[in-house]
Amino acid sequence: MAPAKQIKIRLEFDYWGADGARIPAGTVVSLPEKEAAAVVNLGKAKIALDD
């Protein structure tokens, strides 16, 4: 099985990753496509087009 496609998003709010670590707003992170879509759909991030 191929690894999940990674999508870069820019966080609009602080985000807590799966490991429980806080990632501050404004940070660009790469997340698996489904997780990135969920965060964007909640209004917590935007797709990072310029990074």
Query: pTM of this prediction?
Result: 0.81
Between the two ends of the chain, the Cα-to-Cα distance in Å is: 28
Q: Report pLDDT digits (tens) over 1-51.
A: 778 899 999 999 998 887 899 999 999 999 999 999 999 999 999 999 876
Q: How far is CA 30 from the centre of its chain?
A: 6
| Spatial separation of the C-alpha atoms in residues 35 and 2, rounded to whole Å | 16
Handedness of CA 15, 21, 24, 26 (dihedral sign): negative
Given this model, what pLDDT does residue 51 score?
A: 60
